[in-house]
Structure 1
Amino acid sequence: MLGYKNIEKVKPAGIELTDRLVGVQRVTKVTKGGRAFGFSAIVVVGDGKGVVGYGLGKSKEVASAIAKAVEDAKKNLVRIPLDGHTVPHEIEARYGGGHVFLRPASHGTGLIAGGAVRAVLESVGIHDVLSKSKGSSNPHNVVKATFKALLNLRSANVVARQRGISISKVFNGK
């Protein structure tokens, strides 16, 4: 998924996943015999506890495009490091023209996000976050930019282990 190496892939067996439809688009293929219409769907699936994936599906009918997208999403599940109810630190990411910014929020703030970003964050299980989506509003690019941001998150434990210092030094400096 997006070419990352340090990703914890997750098998869908035994996980109760919910799916959220991010968008369906009617697409057209022009042939010498006229126009052939089809549908493209993007879906996000997650367990609400840090496991999430997205998938794309194409078909002549909407229902089968969505079903294909759900199956594709289940093949691309990853685990996201959460800090309880929010993200561990600020992060921003770009994918194509989509630019997403995520900032941790205190408990009770709620999920301040719109459209595709909200669907991804709800599927992950994040309840309190401030977000801003800039640039392209194309749901494909926004979903991929959100995933890129989430996959680059690191918990305090991971940062301490990578730097070879204690967790208190991560927060307090020297």
Structure 2
Amino acid sequence: MERKINKDKMGRNTNNNNVRDWDLEIPTDDETDEDDDRFTEDAIRKRAELHDKKCQRHEDLVRNFTNAETFEEAYKCMVTINKFEEMHLKIPLEYKVIGEMMNRLRGATGKEKFMLQQKLHRALKVVQWKEKYDPNNQENYGIIEREEDSPSVKDVEEDKEEFDLMRGVDDDGDDEGDFEDDKDAELLEKLSAIDKNLEDKLALLDHTFGRKGRALEEEIKDLADERNALTEANTRPLYRKGFKERLITVNRTCKVTKGGQVASFTALVACGNLHGVVGFARAKGPKVPIALQKARVKCFQNLHYVELHEEHTIAHAVQSNYKKTKVYLWPASTRTGMIAGKTVKCILKLAGFKNIKSKVIGSRNPLNTVKAVFKALNAIETPKDVQEKFGRTVVESYLL
């Protein structure tokens, strides 16, 4: 028995030694010499022919539906068309959602129309991005990597045109473009030189104290102001046409540090198009113009839609509170005008209201007042909202 077991062990070892390591390796997809069958000319031609057949079949079904003489025949054609589309011409879910929103947009008005337009814009952007960077799409094979590594000349030119439009530059001549490129190069050189000086002086500031340290801090402040001035002169923010901006308040705060007092400013700005779209924003900055510029840019990212009742007032009385501020709004008849405080009057005028009575009770902090007013305007229910909510028709009281 022992001799038999030893012989079996010796035979297994010899067999294992004869097998080479590369014989056990399984070839991967990258190592195979055969090309992918999906991208051969025959496969591509077959797919194109199949797609043409499906389209032809779909056209025949639609023609049968249009030529149907009775309702029963038309219903049968509709069922077959639906089955054929679900099986062969399946539409992605995103396109179905966009189609439903487009159908709803035809009969929408007021706030619903505004919200649907915003949603449609976002949905189209998402679909466009998904199609461009979808790795499962056959049209994108071998394109995404090239775009990431080396963008095409066309994309570079389009990006340059968009950048020029944002800065307000017109393509009138090549000489002007060359002159602006030289200007940009000079500006970049100045900014890089200022950044180097700032880094050096900040490194020295860790090891200097007393009068020398204070002098260094003043130099650093001067350099930072110079850099901010250069960047502000080159940036031109875009504002929407038809909108008006109003400054509500500017608040100054001062922080006491080791080097001295550091002042900062907070600006509260409201904007509106006088037709139901209004927004507000708050921004901070070391100077008033910087804070105002930031607030104006942010203001257009926080827009609200308010329904105008009979194009001059609100639909009903409403009250709202934010922290210690309470705001009351009442509808008013024509020729009444705006009976409101400075802050509330500014927002209501930007929204497009002409006849409203209001009262603010409690804290008169401008920011709290603005937030309370927007809370009240968003809580207003129009007759159409009430009709949809309860499923009944709304009629004016004097008609009953």
TM-score by length of 2: 0.39
In 2, Cα distance between the equivalents of 1:45 and 1:10? 20
Residue 125 (structure 1) aligned with residue 357 (structure 2): no
Q: Which amino acid aligns with 1:164?
A: G
Residue 160 (structure 1) aligned with residue 387 (structure 2): yes
Match of 1:91 in 2: 318
SS in structure 2 of the partner of residue 99 of structure 1? strand
SS in structure 2 of the partner of residue 54 of structure 1? strand
Query: 2:279, 2:299 within 8 Å by CA — same for their partners in 1?
Result: yes
Residue deviations 1:102-155 (CA, integer Å, cap 9, x gap): 000001100111121111101101000000011111100000000000011111
Greater percentage in helix: 2
Q: Which amino acid aligns with 2:273?
A: D
Match of 1:3 in 2: none
Query: 1:99, 1:145 within 8 Å by CA — same for their partners in 2?
Result: yes
Match of 2:304 in 1: 78
Residue 33 (structure 1) aligned with residue 259 (structure 2): yes
Alignment of 1:1-174 (within 5 A): 8=115, 15-83=241-309, 84-168=311-395, 171=397
Query: 1:10, 1:79 within 8 Å by CA — same for their partners in 2?
Result: no
In 1, Cα distance between the equivalents of 2:344 and 2:337? 14
Quote the sequence identity (%). 35
Aligned residues: 167
Q: Which consecutive residues of structure 1, in runs of 5 or more, have no partner in the other structure? A: 1-5
Tell me the CA shift for residue 10 of structure 1. Answer: 7.6
SS in structure 2 of the partner of residue 22 of structure 1? strand
Tell me the CA shift for residue 34 of structure 1. Answer: 2.9
Greater percentage in strand: 1
SS in structure 1 of the partner of residue 300 of structure 2? helix
SS in structure 2 of the partner of residue 159 of structure 1? helix
Tell me the CA shift for residue 63 of structure 1. Answer: 1.1
In 1, Cα distance between the equivalents of 2:392 and 2:326? 33
Query: 1:57, 1:68 within 8 Å by CA — same for their partners in 2?
Result: yes
Query: 1:51, 1:78 within 8 Å by CA — same for their partners in 2?
Result: yes
Match of 2:191 in 1: none
Shift >4 Å, 4+ stretches: 9-15
Residue deviations 1:67-110 (CA, integer Å, cap 9, x gap): 11111111001110110200111001111222110000001100
In 2, Cα distance between the equivalents of 1:106 and 1:77? 27
Tell me the CA shift for residue 13 of structure 1. Answer: 8.5
- Over the aligned positions, Cα root-mean-square deviation in angstroms equals 2.4
Query: 1:9, 1:76 within 8 Å by CA — same for their partners in 2?
Result: no
Cα distance change on mapping 1:13 and 1:32 into 2, 3 Å: closer
SS in structure 2 of the partner of residue 167 of structure 1? coil
SS in structure 2 of the partner of residue 75 of structure 1? coil
In 1, Cα distance between the equivalents of 2:278 and 2:117? 9
Query: 2:239, 2:297 within 8 Å by CA — same for their partners in 1?
Result: no
Residue deviations 1:17-38 (CA, integer Å, cap 9, x gap): 1001110011122333332101
TM-score by length of 1: 0.88
In 2, Cα distance between the equivalents of 1:171 and 1:53? 33
Query: 2:329, 2:358 within 8 Å by CA — same for their partners in 1?
Result: yes
Cα distance change on mapping 1:22 and 1:10 into 2, 3 Å: farther
Query: 1:19, 1:46 within 8 Å by CA — same for their partners in 2?
Result: yes
Tell me the CA shift for residue 15 of structure 1. Answer: 4.9
Tell me the CA shift for residue 9 of structure 1. Answer: 8.8
